[in-house]
Amino acid sequence: MQPPGNAIRTWSAFPSTYVARSRSCSRSSVRRPQSLRDKGSLVSHVFWTSFAASLTLFRVITACVTTAALLALGAAAGAAQAATHSRTLTLYSVAEQEQYINNSDSLARGVGNNPFGNYTDQTPLATKASNGPFPGDEALFSFNLYTSSDLKTRAGAATLTCQYNFNKNAFCDASFQLNGKGTLIASGAFNFSATRFSLAVTGGYGTYLGTRGSVLVTPSAHHAQKLRFQLE
């Protein structure tokens, strides 16, 4: 028995039988059952949906990590820059002149109500009174500035103007003129009896234009005060 003319003989495991396959059949004509196609589509859909969600999550995590790293680097750079620009300056001041303003004083007659009393480094003009300063009183100081505690090398000059309010508290404005460098401006409040106090540096001129910081004033030898500036 011969197979049809347009068929190819394919022998099975049994010699006595064969299976004929038509040449006219193509792969495209072989269809899977509908149920299998539906299952394949569902599996593919689930796979790609899960993959897309995982990819989105990965991108979000990557963005968060990158942002955190950039913020950390920015903070470190800012701290390093602040540390680089921060500087300390130490000077010493000695009072050159001082004036206490009280309208009831009459220094020409040697009568006065002056809480500064008789400054030992200058000729006394009035005797010391135990009361004051009072609200509305003013005081003006001028200082010589030096580079070290031995007071040998001049660094500049300074002025301090104070306006007193209640309980002997004052608000003072200060300017420090440094030779060949510029001027620092500071202000702050402290009590008349204070032996140490601090002022806020709010600006300056010349080299110190736009400078901010603070200055701590403490007692030193030879009627001097130590000025420790922390500048930024």
DSSP state at residue 115: T
What percentage of the chain exceeds 90 in pLDDT?
39
The whole model's pTM is what? 0.56
CB within 8 A of 168, min separation 6: which ones? 132, 133, 191, 192, 193
What does the pLDDT read at residue 184?
Answer: 97
pLDDT for the residue numbered 205:
92
DSSP-assigned beta bridge partners for residue 91? 227
Q: What is the pLDDT of residues 144-170, one digit of tens each?
A: 999 999 999 999 999 999 999 888 999
Residue 20 reports pLDDT greater than 80: no
Longest CA–CA separation in the chain, Å = 155
Percent of the chain with pLDDT over 70: 55
pLDDT band at 204 (very low <50, low <70, confident <90, very high): very high
The full DSSP string for 109-143 is GTB--BTT---TTS---S-B-SS---TT-EEEEEE
pLDDT of res. 66: 73
Model confidence at 88: pLDDT above 80: yes
What integer pLDDT is reported at residue 231 of this predicted model? 94
CA dist 231 and 83 (Å) reads: 11
More confident residue, 94 or 72: 94
Tell me the mean pLDDT in the region 186-196. 93
Question: Could you identify the residue written with the tokens 């010349």?
Answer: 206
- Which pLDDT belongs to residue 98? 87
Confidence of residue 218 (pLDDT cuts 50, 70, 90): very high
Comparing 158 with 79, the larger pLDDT belongs to 158
Query: What pLDDT shows up at residue 190?
Result: 92
11's CB contacts (< 8 A; 6+ apart) are: 17, 18, 19
Write down the mean pLDDT value for the chain.
Answer: 74
Distances in Å between the Cα of 202 and the Cα atoms of 159, 189, 214 are 15, 14, 8
Query: Half-sphere exposure of 38 toward its Cβ, with a 13 Å CA cutoff?
Result: 3
Question: Is the predicted pLDDT of residue 82 greater than 50, yes or no?
Answer: no
pLDDT tens column, 109-143: 455 556 655 544 545 555 555 577 888 889 999 99
